[in-house]
Structure 1
C-alpha cells in the first residue's frame, strides 16, 4: 500500500520534471545569462570581462535609447487607452443580447488569431501611399486625399498604434464581456427596481465591480507594449529613421547589427524590470484579494 502511494506521488513529478527543467534552463537560465552579459564588455561575441554598470550608464546616455523610450511612452499610452475604451464599448454592445452576437463576437476576435508579423505586413500594404488606402482613393477619383503617416517621421508611430489596437481590441473585449457576464444579476435587478437607467447601472454599479478585469487588461496590454517587436519590424522596420524605434527593436539592433552585445543585454534587462514593475504589483494585489476573501 505504501509503495502504491509512493508511486502515485512520484509519477506526477516525473511527468512534470522535463518541462520544469526546460523552463528553468531556457527561460530563467538565459535571463540570468543576459544579466551577466549586461555587466561585461561583450561586443560581437560574448566576453567575460566584468565592467560593472558601465553598459547601463552608456545606454542611458544614448539619444537612440531615449527615442525608443519616448516612442514606447506614446505607443503604450495610446495602445492601452484605446484598446480599453474600445474593448469595453464593444463588450457593453454585445452584452445587450443583440441578435448578431454570435456573428460579431468571432469577427471582433479574429484579428487576435493572426500573428503580429501578418498584422504588420497587412497594415503596411494598407497604409502604403503607393498601393494602399491613398492610392485606392485616388483611383476612385478623390485626388486630394492624402494619408502618408507611415512615411512621416511625426506620425509613423501612430500607424503602429492603429495596427496594434486593431489586433488586440477583440481580445480585450472578450475579457470585459466575461467580466460583464459575471456580475450578479440580483444586483442589477435591484437597481432596475429602484429606477436606475441602464447608463447609470453600468457607470455606478457594473463598471466599478469590474476593477479586477481592468487591472488584468492593463497588465496584458502593458506587457505586450513593452515587448512589441515583430509588429514594428513588419510594419515600419523602426523607421522612417528612428521614428518608430521601441526598446525591443533597439535591443535587437545593438545586439546583432551594431555589435554591442553588452549594451543590448542591458536594454533587455531594463525591459525585464519594466515588466516586473507591472507584474509584481498585480500579483501582490491578487494575493491580498484572496487573503481578504
Structure 2
C-alpha cells in the first residue's frame, strides 16, 4: 500500500511539473526573440542617441558635446535637400500608390475574366526587391539601352527619355518606380477590404437608386477607411527608409538632387567617418518614423477601445 501511495504521489508531482512546464513553455519559446528585439531596438537606439551627442568621428568615442552634431547636421545643405526630397517623395509616392492601388482594386472587384491572372500580374512587383526594381528601371531610363534607345531605333530619332539624367526630373523617375513597386500591395489590401463590405449595405443603396459611382463614394469607400490609414502608414514607412531604390536608380544624383536621408546617413558613417553626425541623422530618421507610427498606434488603440465600449 505504501508503494502504491508513493507511486501515486510521484505521478501527481510529474503531472504538476508537466502542467507547469506547459504553462511556461510559450514564454520560454518567445523569450530569446523578445530579448533580442529589446536589445536591437531599445539598447541600440539608446546607444545611437548617445553617440549622436558625442564627439565621435572615425570610431565611436564618448565625449559628450550635447546637440552640436545636430546643429552641424541641419546647417549642411545636403541634409536639407535630403529631408526635403523625403517629404516630396513621400507625398507623391503615398498618394499615387493609394490612387493606383485603389483603381486596380475597384477594376478587379468587378469580377473581371481572368481575375486570378490579373491579381498575380499586379502583385508581382511586390515580390521583387527594391534593389532589383531600381536596377531594371535604371536600364529602362538609360538613353543607351532603354526606352529612348528603343524608340529611336523605331525611327523617332528626336525622341528623348532621360528622366534620371536631369536634376529636375530624376526624383519623378524615383516616384514612378516606387509607385510601380508598391501599388500592387495597396491593391491587395484594398481588394480584401472591398470584398469584406456587407452586401446588404450595397443592396440597400441600389434599392434607393444610387449608381455605382455614388455607392463607392458614399458606402463602400467609407467602410474601408481604416484600410486607407493602414496602407498609408506602411507606405510612409517604405518612403522614410528608402535607400536601395535610389542607389540603384540615381545614386543620389545628378549631383545631390536625389539624396535621401538614408543615403546621407550611410555616406556620413561609412564614407566620411563622421559617426556622430551620422548618428544624429539616424535619430532624425527615427523621429520621422515616430511621427508616423505613434499617432497610428494611438489611433488603433482608441479605435479598439471605442469598438469594445460599443460592444
Question: Could you say which residue in structure 1 is the equivalent of 2:122?
Answer: 108
Return the offset for 1:22: 1.6
**Which of the numbers 147, 160, 171 marks the counterpart of 1:133?**
147
**Which of the numbers 73, 89, 96 marks the counterpart of 1:82?**
96
Q: Distance in 2 between matches of 1:142 and 1:214?
A: 42
**Which of the numbers 4, 19, 29 marks the counterpart of 1:15?**
29
Question: Could you say which residue in structure 1 is the equivalent of 2:182?
Answer: 168
RMSD: 1.0
More displaced, 21-30 or 280-289? 21-30
> Equivalent residues in 2 for 1:199-210 (5 A)?
199-210=213-224
Structure 1 gaps, min length 5: none
Question: Could you say which residue in structure 1 is the equivalent of 2:59?
Answer: 45
Runs of 4+ aligned residues of structure 1 deviating over 4 Å after TM superposition are none
Return the offset for 1:112: 0.5
Which has the greater radius of gyration? 2
Question: Could you say which residue in structure 1 is the equivalent of 2:77?
Answer: 63
Q: Distance in 2 between matches of 1:131 and 1:30?
A: 44
TM-score (norm 2): 0.92
Q: Distance in 2 between matches of 1:44 and 1:54?
A: 17
TM-score (norm 1): 0.98
Question: Could you say which residue in structure 2 is the equivalent of 1:31?
Answer: 45
Question: Could you say which residue in structure 1 is the equivalent of 2:10?
Answer: none
**Which of the numbers 202, 208, 211 marks the counterpart of 1:188?**
202
* 1:20-70 per-position Cα deviation (integer Å, ceiling 9, x unaligned): 122122333222211111011111111111111111111111111100011
Count residues with an aligned counterpart.
293
Question: Could you say which residue in structure 2 is the equivalent of 1:225?
Answer: 239
Structure 2 gaps, min length 5: 1-14
Question: Could you say which residue in structure 1 is the equivalent of 2:158?
Answer: 144
Question: Could you say which residue in structure 2 is the equivalent of 1:258?
Answer: 272
More displaced, 257-266 or 10-19? 10-19
Q: Distance in 1 between matches of 2:53 and 2:201?
A: 56
